[in-house]
Structure 1
Amino acid sequence: MAQGKIYVSALEVAERAGVSRSAVSRTFTPGASVAPETRRKVVEAAEALGYHVNQLARGLMRNESGIVCLIVSDMATPYRSSLIKALTQQLQNTGKIAMLVNTDRSDGSVDLALRQAIRYRADASIILSGLPDKSIADLCLKSGQRLVLINRNDDQEGTLKINLDDREAAGRVLTAFVRAGCERLAFANSDARTPSLMAREDGFVDAARAHGLDVIVERFGGTTYESGKILAQKLLTRSLRPDAVFCATDLLACGLLDAARHQFSLSVPEDLCVAGFDDIQQASWSSYDLTTFSQPVEAIALEAVSWLADEMDPAVRQSHSSRRLHAELVWRGSIRGG
């Protein structure tokens, strides 16, 4: 009959090595002082017995679990998966363990995820989706958690908020369209209405108005390829068809581009100029060749994890911090003159 898994204890290692239990502990504690011969005996005994340090138990003794929850929706989308990859790598580099919690965009779903994080004694949560109610955020903070909000506009105390210069990026797209001779402008967005998506929409509309131009705004569904195709149908069946479309994300732009070419027989960029946002891998494919903005996922992950790892003063920790990062414009062939 199969036996249950039995973990080797530090006491067993100490007995085999002929040293004290505290000597084993010091051997596997970074920076602790251990005589070279003692270290050799302990390491050899640990390898022979298959011993591994119980980091969870060690952390809980310090009132730390080492767990950081990533609360995510739409994790299969290219941008979100690349951000998850960068965050988990940065967390692993600092000795943290990532717990991935899949949610939808509703406040209730995010709140439930945060309560799960509290029950697992997570040290922190990084929220990539939804916006937690202030009461549940307060509960997390009171439980000792630290919170990172990515692409959100909440100013909750005790959190780090990381955003991009979305409005400024939208202004650069407007300038590119104007230089390409475009006059009938449109913005294609989803119905998600997240702060980052709306900042791109509002920034583009305001920049156009400053140039004396109007913008047709269409919103539909989620930030998906399929929504992009439907948005193309809404925009390109108008009697006065737009000659330039800024899409809130690259996935929307890919769907719109395919519909424009294959359903409406339009040439890009001769008949229609298109820009996106995120610089997903597909944007560089020759079939799309999409001008877009690159999400600085490595910088976002570094900012988030560095803030979580910083042993700051408790009074400073309770204050609100924010970071605004730059989205680099990546020129390709979907805008004339790009």
Structure 2
Amino acid sequence: MVPLDKMAEQFGFEPPRKKGLNTVEACEGIVAGEVRAFVGLGGNFVRAIPDREVMEQAWRGLDLTVQIATKLNRSHLVVGKTAFLLPCLGRIERDEQATGPQTVSTEDSTGVMHGSIGRRPPASPHLLSEPAIVAGIAKATLPPNPRLDWDAWVGDYALVRDAIATSYPSIFHDFNRRIAQPEGFPRPNAARERTWTTKTGKANFILPQSLCASFDMSGDPDVLRLITLRSNDQFNTTIYGYRDRFRGVIGTRMVVLMNKADMARLGLREDQQVTMETVADDDRVRRMSGFAVRPYNIPPGCIGAYYPECNALIPLAQHAQVSKVPAAKSVPVKVTATLAATATAGMAAE
């Protein structure tokens, strides 16, 4: 929870109390024309979200899109009516500010916070750091506030971490001292600490009855449950290579992993080209081709394919009931042989 009362006292302003938008709600607002601008700090939002075809079309209707980024990606090519791409320093580049070289804080995939100091010269002498860009926008937009010295924060990132420690003392106390430790420090994690704030004092697992009624797939045995996956050489939407040692997929990501029993039942063979189409009752066609079938030890009725390649198949309306996390692990689809590939195979057999 965000400590709004503490932040109001700390910085002398009234924080917004209205609930913000999660990913699904933001996308719904963009499609409906209610969200008119987007500012992104890194990331590749357009590539990461569900319903890619719908969202890219709606995205171009935004009045303003701003991307603060270190490397080009798809989100920089799909833009609003007015668009700004603001390149910034990367983490490996030296960040020299008024008080000297700066340390930035990072969190690794295990929830451990580390300090990071860039060693390489910047790609351009004109590059600003991400904190400098954000603080510059704030300074140009907001009225002066004696408790918010944007220039001081840009000049010394340690002051930003001190402010974070004041706002969130239970997590970030002694922030600057602890990230200077060689091993960093872990954020509180119930699973690591075996501490559960539940009535039973134990971890509780809850099985939802369904995701959304519109995507009930129990009545048709030919409807399969698509589970989107990441490879070992991937971080979020960034693909570093084409060698998934987890699953033995080499040289491509355009594959569908299927149980052999499902392959036999549907009349499909290994490496056959197939088309996947989402099963939904919203009168929208979501179809992707160009995938090769690969037999895999996956439960019958389930198939696997890579994220974000398959995001166009994930309906925006299919999400967890409370958190609204997109249901990228449970997409009802039908798999059929691609007609062109089938015709070619038939001629070869003759």
Larger strand percent: 2
Question: Whose radius of gyration is greater, 1 or 2?
Answer: 1
Report the TM-score, using the length of structure 2 for normalisation: 0.25
Report the TM-score, using the length of structure 1 for normalisation: 0.25
Larger helix percent: 1
